[in-house]
Amino acid sequence: MTDNNLTMIDLFSGAGGLSEGLSAAGFHSIFASEIVDTYANTYKINHPNSKVLTADIRSVDANKIRQELGIKREALDLIAGGPPCQGFSINAPIRSVMDQRNHLFKEYLRFVDAFAPRAILIENVPGLVSFEHGATLHAILQALAELGYGADVRILGAAYYGVPQMRWRTFILGLRGKKLPTHAFPEPVFHAPIKPNFTTTFDGQPLLKLPAAEASIHFTTVEEAIGDLPSLTAGERGSKIKEYACEPFSDYQRRMRIGSSGIYNHEAPRLSKENLKRLQYIKPGGNWTDIPTELLPKGMQKARRSDHTKRYGRVKPDGLASTILTKCDPHWGAFFHYSQERSFTVREAARIQSFPDHYVFTGSQSEQFAQVGNAVPPLLAEAVGLALKSILKDGE
């Protein structure tokens, strides 16, 4: 943890995972823009010193915002942001340049032009690299170059930086008036059992940051992440603020508890009678193939056993969680608790995303899950922020 002595703004901020991690690295958020009211409200609560604007960014005057903040052009340290990425995702039903979300990158670039920050950070899904056979990524890098930024791209595995899940994210970093050094992207700290299922090269160059031999083999496990949280039954809500089940038994748990006054957002989603029956057959590390055929949804009764390997999955306590999605619905992933007969709570999903326990999510339970699933893991953002900070400090 460090003093926040560098300034930043966060565009398409969501609930603030990127800002939370960058704050831990030493960046102070002075402004955030988010179109969804509930997401913006969560950001406000957890980043009270930042001006938060709830608006469609296409209607926001970037120069007016800069003037209102009292920031001279070229004085801001960083513009960070993750424009909506569904249109780029390798899992999207249709990946088309006609998807209007894809063009929101232009709004980000408009803010870069208005503020001319010392550095830029763009976060997105791995599918950005292969979208339109790389044409979109080429256009982004070219546009940044035309604005005076030397930029580069890497794909980072969150588990390599202590996040207990199989999540990959693309990061574009750039410096104003300078070529970006290779050490701008953080070196992995841990080895972890994750494998990419996407394009890993761009213009013939490898994009993955892989751990060196000396990196630790002790990645953060699911149990190390959530094992100190109190037990619940399916559908149990309990008190709004809960006590921990035990003393922390991992460094990760100790870190997550810093600044916490108790456990928020820890309420178990309800499960249907059918899912409760299915769950009885699933062992830790297992999935839908453990369930008797007659109990499966009709659409899956004829599926090949090699398909849908994460559906109705129960996580292994000594392994990694699958990627936390906007819905921790067992039908779509391995979201059953390893030892309790229920699916993950919002707090457990947040822990697996590396949000500290003092970070409170607002809105309905489904809105809270969406906020967590859409976020950048703060620990991953912190690692990127620390590497970028060292370069900015060297340039002073």
Catalytic residues: 85
Token pair 């703004």 is at which residue?
9
3-class state of residue 201 by DSSP: strand
What is the Cα–Cα distance from 313 to 17, expressed in whole angstroms? 26
The token pair at 195 is 């494998």
What is the C-alpha separation between 300 and 172, in angstroms, rounded?
39
Quote the crossing angle between the two packed helices 135-146 and 105-115, to the nearest 10°: 10
Q: Do 128 and 86 touch, CB atoms closer than 8 A? A: no
Asked whether 201 and 134 are in contact (CB, 8 A), the reply is: no
In contact, 231 and 325? CB cutoff 8 Å: no
d(CA 224, CA 202): 35
Q: What whole-number distance in Å separates Cα of residue 358 and Cα of residue 289?
A: 38
Q: Where are the beta strands (DSSP E) in the chain?
A: 6-11, 27-34, 51-54, 78-81, 119-124, 149-157, 168-176, 201-202, 205-206
d(Cα 42, Cα 261) in Å, to the nearest integer?
A: 17
The two structure tokens encoding residue 355: 């949000």
Q: Do 114 and 121 touch, CB atoms closer than 8 A?
A: no
CA distance 161 to 301: 38
